Amino acid sequence: MTEADIITGCRQALSYQLASVSVKQCYLKLAVKELTGSNVAVGTVVGFPHGDNTTAIKVAETREAVANGAVELDMVINVGELRSGHTRYVQDEIQSVVQAADGKAILKVILETVYLNREQIVQACKLAEAAGADFVKTSTGFSPRGATPEDVSLMRASVGPEVQVKAAGGVRSLDSLLAVIDAGATRVGASAAFRMLDEFNQRYPSR
């Protein structure tokens, strides 16, 4: 995306009253400038899209993002470490990012569920909750498969009421949007957000 794309997207997000926009770190200051004083939050990504940065790099990214005005962070876990059974590493890394955010930004932990079995999804959710994350999130959108209602439902059942669930990746139609919401998602990340909301307003004009 170009600088012009970021500006256009921020203005559309404001027009549609989306919950937030997520931009690359290099465009954080620009997005914050566009949306200061609005109800649209500005966020960015950490360890994106593969999650295999060291903890120190993720912490540095977090600190810089917060300093540049991010109030939401979407961090990819180290999927390989989780699949290797190194649960302490995964939890400690998430906790390190929570601490680096210092209460100035909420943390959404991306599990990349396509690479995990059900047991690992449950385990990752519990690790994220124990580490102090605010959300668990299905996917980056860069993997072979994104959010499914089944994954969202399992994640919702695997965390307590204080932790929210975000669905992302592959949510490109209104029906798929409504399906993940019905499954328990309280936030949905989608590049097709504007088109889906237009379709919603056409389908349900009285709502």
How far apart are the C-alpha atoms of 195 and 178, rounded to whole Å? 14
Q: Considering the candidates 58, 108, 134, 166, report the single residue annotated as catalytic.
A: 166
Among 78, 15, 18, residue whose Cα is nearest residue 42: 18
The CA distances from residue 141 to 95, 167, 191, in Å, are: 24, 10, 10
194, two tokens: 């504007």
Q: Considering the candidates 58, 134, 137, 151, report the single residue annotated as catalytic.
A: 137
Active site residue 74: yes
Q: Based on DSSP, count helices (H) and strands (E) in the chain, helices before strands.
A: 9, 7
Beta bridge partners of 187: 166
Spell out the SS3 assignment of 30-85. HHHHHHCCCCCEEEEEECCCCCCCCHHHHHHHHHHHHHCCCCEEEEECCHHHHHCC
Which residues, including other chains, have CB under 8 Å from residue 120's CB and lie 6 or more apart? 82, 83
Q: Considering the candidates 74, 108, 134, 151, report the single residue annotated as catalytic.
A: 74
Asked if residue 182 lies in contact with residue 149, where contact means CB atoms within 8 angstroms, the answer is: yes
Catalytic residues: 74, 137, 166
